[in-house]
Amino acid sequence: MNEVLASGSARLLGDDINTDYIVPSHRKKETIDPQVLRAFVFEDIHPGFYEAMGAETILVAGTNFGCGSAMEVAVTVLQAAGVKAVIAKSFSRTFRRNALNNGLLLCQADATHLNDNDAVTVGLENGTLTIDTNADERIKAGTMPAFMLEMLSHGGLTRFLMAKGGFE
């Protein structure tokens, strides 16, 4: 049984996608409101990226996704823009932590052979994250502890703690 965690159209990015590529620094000087900033996602490296995104997007990248500054707004802007998950070969530690805190699903796997707009589904099968594509391919993306899945299902750490009344 494969439980669907996220689905959408793949949008491909390269290696070393830093947080200033996700949302440019000069935009963060004006506001940190994700609902405003989402229109500027990746504008410096892919002009028109936001306008070309579908309602549900899965980002696919190479190594070191989310490097750079540790600003949490890089994650919340992606969520506001409609990103349901990010698949990358590797993530910076601070971006991973911010993603978990805010409920953005990350999958560590190599899916860089996919094409833009391929249909992608991220699921969970017997504790293993899986990535299914419209090419009838299944990529295994490692395991995720039940605690982390529960935290993500609540929308991140803060909402998880609010629902649970704090730490157990």
Model confidence over 19-75: pLDDT tens digits?
A: 999 999 899 888 999 999 999 999 999 999 999 998 899 999 999 999 998 889 999
The CATH number assigned to the domain with range 3-164 reads 3.20.19.10
| Domain boundaries defined on the chain | 3-164
What is the predicted pLDDT for the residue at 1?
45
Between 134 and 99, whose confidence is greater?
Answer: 99
Percent of the chain with pLDDT over 70: 98
Asked if 104 and 78 touch (Cβ cutoff 8 Å), the reply is yes
For 145-150, the CB contacts below 8 A with 24+ separation are: 148/100, 149/124
Judge whether residue 166 has pLDDT over 80: no
Between 61 and 164, whose confidence is greater?
Answer: 61
Scored b (16 or more CB within 10 A) or e, 108-140 reads bbbbbebeeebebbbbbeeeebbbbbeeeeebe
Place of tokens 């990535």: 131
Q: Smallest Cα–Cα separation from 118: which of 104, 106, 131, 109?
A: 131
Judge whether residue 146 has pLDDT over 90: no
Query: What mean pLDDT value characterizes the chain?
Result: 92
